[in-house]
Amino acid sequence: MTDRDRANAPAHNHSRRDRNVLNYDEVASLRRLNPAWRLLCADNAPLILSFLGKVFIDENVREISATDLLNRLDDELYALNQRLGEGTFRSAKAYLDGWSTSGTQWLRRYYIDGSDEPHYDATQAVERAVAWVSALREREFVGTESRLNTVFELLRQIVYGSDTDPQVRLAELKRRRAEIDDQIAATERGDFDVMDSLGRSDRYQQFAETSRALLSDFREVEANLRGLDRQMREKIATWQGTKGELLDEFVGTRSGIGNSDQGRSLQAFYNLLLSSDRLTELTELIAGAERLDDSGVIDERLSRIHYDWLTAAKRAQDIVGQLSQQLRRFLDDQVWLENRRVMDLLHGIESSAVALRDDRAEDFSSSIDAAAPAISLPTERPLYRKPVAAQIDSSGVEYGQAEDIGDALYEQRQLDIASLIANVRTRLRRTGQATLADVLSTRPLDRGLEELVAYLHLSEGDFDTVVDDSRTDTATWTGPDGKQRTARMARVIYVHTGSGAHDDSGDLP
């Protein structure tokens, strides 16, 4: 590009490029204010990065009680003092208190519902610092081929996915179809290449980096949503206007969160991962990649990375739900305050009436017929209508006799909800996620429609019930009359939340 071309280039190209260039003031501000930079400069940075990285990042712990974290840190400090010398490190509680202050911002300390013990979670600053230090390690193998293929595929999706010309789209689809036809023909001839261990290592390395980065990004998403939640709490605490004005602003804020780029991307990711077919395919692909390992690059922690994604995405969505709870509490408090104000006014009027009941004026007289005139027009009065008498025909009624009514009362049965929950848990123990059709394939319906309705309303601590309206399933059972009956309904998916006890090698408690 010549100097004239650079001078005539659009201004927005320069501004877009400048956004990725660090200037002196920005670097100085980051060094002074960014908690991740402060962590790297801390005297005990090796202890902080190794311990917090192992607990919260390597083990993917996103909520731990103060007692458990204190015990683990105490064991870590004891081992380090034995190796480096007594008195090298302080007490575990002193470190935890220092890491969770507003000046460091490396640990988030908070309380959960139903517990008076504080809990801890690592902040995004720890994620960034651990990732930066981990990137300094010398790597024996650096894959480039898979990244180049990914670049090509992403650019194709951007260009052809945004093109509005049908002919361009058709040309691209025909090109891809021709490539697939060539591959099919070559495979039928037995002429195809098998990926070697180098290619598998290259692609698995990129899969591992992308998976860990995606899990790490959820902490930043949580931090951003938690910042919006904190702003809403502060606004509610200092609000002086009417409830209607706050409600309008809150609805606009929450709508903005849901319609923002980050909100729509999070929702699309969550919906995609909730798909039973996608989750099953992902589980099978990860297991297949581990079976092909012959170079020792497989990381066992990635075997259940997709379930860690679900847990992290659910935590991010729960923060959005907290905004509604805050508004509801505010409205309830406002109603109570207004009712109390009304009662105070009534008590004031009553007290004034009692104090003035003996102060009567002798020459005071006044009368009023009504507070407002009563107007009644003749045309407003309804005309008289004769009531219609109901005609009851009792002819042809015959007396009957109930047979075996006593036995029918004692034959009533109730559904065993515990056995239905056990059926769902048995299925989830295999895959971590299952549809209602999967459960019924191994445990058919015995009680018909009432048992099917009970399955639809199951809710337990260790699994959630999700309805996918875009897909349908069928359930079949035999009625009391011996006829086959079928019900068609939206797909019901049971998702393992991980909050309950779950052991793949034994029975559930």
Reported as a single tens digit per residue, the pLDDT across 133-142 is 888 877 666 6
262 has a pLDDT exceeding 60: no
The predicted model gives 194-222 an average pLDDT of: 74
Query: Could you give the CA distance from residue 256 to residue 249 in angstroms, rounded to a whole number?
Result: 10
Residue corresponding to tokens 């103060």:
66
**Tokens at 211, concatenated:** 């998976």
Q: Which residues contact 179 (CB under 8 A, 6 or more apart)?
A: none
Domain boundaries, the chain: 24-134, 140-193, 198-338, 417-496
Rounded alpha-carbon distances, angstroms, from residue 90 to 74, 77, 120: 10, 8, 20
Closest among 28, 30, 29, 72 to 50, alpha carbons compared:
72
Q: Which residues contact 161 (CB under 8 A, 6 or more apart)?
A: none
CA–centroid distance for 366 within its chain: 69
Query: Could you give the CA distance from residue 500 to residue 376 in angstroms, rounded to a whole number?
Result: 70
362-401 pLDDT tens trace: 666 667 777 777 787 877 777 888 887 777 777 777 776 6
User: What is residue 509's predicted lDDT score, i.e. its pLDDT?
Assistant: 30
- Provide the β-strand partners of residue 489: 473
Residue corresponding to tokens 């909800």:
417
1 has a pLDDT exceeding 50: no
Closest among 400, 480, 482, 489 to 452, alpha carbons compared:
489
Closest among 139, 115, 102, 122 to 50, alpha carbons compared:
122
Closest among 195, 179, 434 to 292, alpha carbons compared:
195
Buried b (16+ CB within 10 A) or exposed e, 101-120: eeebbbbbeeeeeeeeeebb
110-114, 257-261, 457-461, 480-484, range with the lowest pLDDT: 257-261
Per the CB < 8 A criterion, the answer to whether 490 and 472 are in contact is yes
Give me the sheet containing 484-496, strands edge to edge.
433-435, 484-496, 463-478
CA angle 400/402/406 to nearest 5° reads 165
The predicted model gives 207-220 an average pLDDT of: 74
- Provide the β-strand partners of residue 494: 434, 465
Query: Could you give the CA distance from residue 117 to residue 115 in angstroms, rounded to a whole number?
Result: 5
CA–centroid distance for 180 within its chain: 38
CA angle 71/76/77 to nearest 5° reads 100
Kindly indicate the confidence band of residue 68, based on its pLDDT and cuts at 50, 70 and 90.
very high
Per the CB < 8 A criterion, the answer to whether 119 and 112 are in contact is yes
Q: What is the DSSP string of 57-79?
A: IIS----EEHHHHHHHHHHHHHH
259 has a pLDDT exceeding 60: no
DSSP state of 384: P
Report percent pLDDT > 90 for the chain: 4
Q: At what angle do helices 261-274 and 243-259 cross, to 10 degrees?
A: 60
The CATH fold assigned to 24-134 is Arc Repressor Mutant, subunit A (1.10.10)
pTM: 0.48
Q: What is the sign, positive or negative, of the torsion defined by CA atoms of 78, 82, 83, 88?
A: positive
Per the CB < 8 A criterion, the answer to whether 199 and 114 are in contact is no
CA–centroid distance for 48 within its chain: 29
